[in-house]
Amino acid sequence: MSDRFRVTLAQLNPVVGDLQGNAAQARAAWEQGRAAGADLVALPEMFITGYNAQDLVMKAAFNLAAIETVRKLAEDCADGPALAIGGPWVEGTELYNAYFILRQGRIASTVLKHHLPNETVFDEVRIFDSGPLGGPYSVGNTRIGSPICEDAWHEDVAETLAETGAEFLLVPNGSPYYRGKHDTRLNHMVARVVETGLPLIYLNMVGGQDDQVFDGATFGLNPGGTLAFQMPQFDETIAHVDLERGINGWRIVPGEVHTHASEWEQDYHVMVTALRDYCRKTGFGKVLLGLSGGVDSAIVATIAVDALGADNVRCVMLPSEYTSQESLDDAEAVAKALGCRYDYVPISEGRAAITNTLAPLFEGREPDLTEENIQSRLRGLLLMALSNKFGEMLLTTGNKSEVAVGYATIYGDMSGGYNPIKDLYKTRVFETCRWRNENHRDWMMGPAGEVIRPNVIDKPPTAELREDQKDSDSLPDYPDLDAMLEILVDRNGSIADCVAAGFEREIARKVERLIYISEYKRFQSAPGVRLTKGAFWLDRRYPIVNRWRDPS
């Protein structure tokens, strides 16, 4: 009986729907494992289809093609180590989230996911059928249990595997990032190790998919919950991990433990990764954005340059008569510091033409929000024209505070294909700018040093759509607004909770009303990266038509 077992762990970045490309990644990982003398090469949950593929998996032509791709992969990887890979499986009318063990040219074992997540961004109950509790599979003379992702967050699957002879646990995951997620994962996995007395390897994928970023950070735990190794966060990595059998069973041979960055760095890395992969996977090589001289567009420009490189980012200043010289100077300074293209496109002539066109219809009415929004919508029109002409995806730059209360113009500054800061409150935007000025990493394509000058961060926020306009004219100061939004949105709290936190009831009531009446805007807003469990899109699903208001 062998006393050593080698697992090659492929922490890789699949593309949803790219069956052949994902299979090629798996084959390449398998080749590395074979060269390293691995007994098993393992890839994450649903790797062959990419994850989260949502309703695409229910399309019969797609799931059948995925299964055939797995069968062909088994044939290609017949002469060497076993290969474990996630994908869909069909039995009769039932569709499962499965984990396949490929050996000797065929699918030798199939594990079916039992617990289907039905919260936050996950909707697996409506997509998959629940598989039965099962036992371990064999690779050589070693019996391995593989709870699939959510299965490892519950005690019954791991306990059943231990009771039926599993010698260690290999958990394949498609687990996306949110702030603090890794500690939650680690706590659940330590519980499984303590309950079963078995070593556990937690294998996660990396990369961006729509709003989600999978952050990797694959790790191993020995009995007692000791951390045996931890792979890098966010990076594609293939690692060869050994287990040794002793008198007390298998133990993971300790390896390198990569430490995680700060919360600020993790969030920034997620925003860069999300935009980089969104562009790469959708085919956009270049982006553009309106650079106003304000803090939001400055950080989006910086994220874009760090994700794609300065040569692939166009910044456009679209001034009106309300645009201050300070804003003009600040915008140009940011573009120059980042090294990206800077275009100057005044909107005065276009605005005058629209004003003259509408004058007969608006006669006798005082200027109001309508005229302010015309400026924003004209900017959106011009930016989209540049996007169409040059094939550059337009980025929108609204922070989470604005998205929450509708402080943005639909078909105006909300125009765009992706929003890197959609889940970043305004107060965190300020701090993220300061963090980026002080920190540079090798995964950033932009320059080191101060790229957003202090005046951009420190000056009072304004949309500059009328004379002497400030955001605080319409909204509570951002520290107060964000604190109330965190209660009402992220924690699903009440007006009474806001009052208990020290805010005036009527102000909290106004904020709650703005959240509800802005729902229709969010339904039409660009997708953006998810940083929290309270992100707008799949995490939070509210009706557009809604007359209920909190009476507290």
- Does residue 474 belong to any structural domain of this protein? no
Summarize pLDDT for 406-422 with one digit per residue, the tens: 999 999 999 999 999 99
* Structural domain boundaries, residue 302: 264-466
Global model pTM greater than 0.85: yes
Is residue 505 domain-resident?
no
CA distance linking residue 182 with residue 169, whole number of Å: 19
- pLDDT band at residue 404 under the 50/70/90 scheme: very high
Q: In this structure, is residue 479 part of a structural domain?
A: no
Cα separation, 302 vs 304, whole angstroms: 5
pLDDT on residue 124: 93
CA distances (Å), origin 480, targets 499, 519, 522: 12, 21, 22
Q: Which pLDDT value is given to residue 52? A: 92
pLDDT exceeds cutoff 90 at 539: no
- Considering 77, 149, 279, 340, which one is annotated as catalytic? 149
Same domain, 112 and 204: yes
Residue 335 within a domain = yes
Q: Please provide residue 117's backbone torsions phi and psi, each rounded to the nearest 5 degrees.
A: -65, 140
Residue 85's H or E segment, with its range, is strand 82-91
In a domain, 523, yes or no: no
Provide the pLDDT for residue 462.
Answer: 74
pLDDT at 460: 84
Domain boundary among 466, 497, 526: 466
Among the listed residues 45, 150, 392, 512, the single catalytic one is 45
31/156 same-domain check: yes
Residues 241 and 283 in one domain: no
Flag whether pLDDT at 323 surpasses 90: no
Classify residue 235: in a domain, yes or no: yes
Instruction: Tell whether 214 and 315 lie within a shared domain.
Output: no
CA distance readout (Å), 226 to 6, 149, 207, 220, 248: 19, 20, 27, 8, 15
Closest CA to 347 of 355, 338, 335: 355
285 and 248, same structural domain? no
The whole-number pLDDT of residue 264 equals 97
304 and 321 housed in the same domain: yes
Do 342 and 459 sit in the same domain of this protein? yes
CB 113 within 8 A of CB 148: yes
What are the tokens at 56?
């695409």
Residue 125: what pLDDT?
92
CATH of residue 250: 3.60.110.10
Share of the chain above pLDDT 70, in %: 99
Which residues make beta-bridge pairs with 97?
88
Position of tokens 């002080």? 438
Q: Please give the pLDDT value at position 2.
A: 66
Number of domains making up the chain: 2
- Mean per-residue pLDDT for 225-239? 97
Q: Return the number of other C-beta atoms located less than 10 Å from residue 438's C-beta.
A: 10
Count, in order, helices (H) and strands (E) of the chain. Answer: 16, 19
pLDDT digits (tens, 9 = 90+) for 30-75: 999 999 999 999 999 999 999 999 999 999 999 999 999 999 999 9
Q: Is 78 found in the same domain as 8?
A: yes
Same domain, 84 and 25: yes
Q: Is 326 a catalytic residue?
A: no
Instruction: Assess if residue 550 is contained within a domain.
Output: no
Tokens of 175: 């687990």
Residues 287 and 200 in one domain: no
CATH number at residue 351: 3.40.50.620
Tell me: do 290 and 388 sit in the same domain: yes
Distance in Å from the first CA to the final CA of the chain: 68
Helix 505-517 and helix 478-485, axial crossing angle in degrees, nearest 10 = 70
Residues 230 and 283 grouped into a single domain: no
Is residue 302 included in any domain, yes or no? yes
Query: What per-residue confidence (pLDDT) applies to 71?
Result: 97
The conformation of residue 545, written as its DSSP 8-state character, comes to S
User: Quick one: 36 exposed, middle or buried, by C-beta within 10 A (0-12, 13-18, 19+)?
Assistant: middle
Say how many CA atoms lie within 13 Å of 45 toward its Cβ: 28
- Asked which of 466, 500, 520 is the last residue of a domain, the reply is 466
pLDDT in tens, 470-514: 767 778 999 999 999 999 999 999 999 999 999 999 999 999 999
Query: pLDDT tens across 354-399, in order?
Result: 999 999 999 999 988 898 899 999 999 999 999 999 999 999 999 9
- In the annotation, is 77 catalytic? no
Does the annotation count 149 as an active-site position?
A: yes
End position of a domain, from candidates 255, 288, 310: 255
Which pLDDT tens digit goes with each residue over 202-213? Answer: 999 999 999 999
Set 59, 68, 72, 113: catalytic member: 113
The rounded distance, in Å, linking the Cα atoms of 57 and 49 is 8
Asked if pLDDT for residue 351 goes beyond 70, the answer is: yes
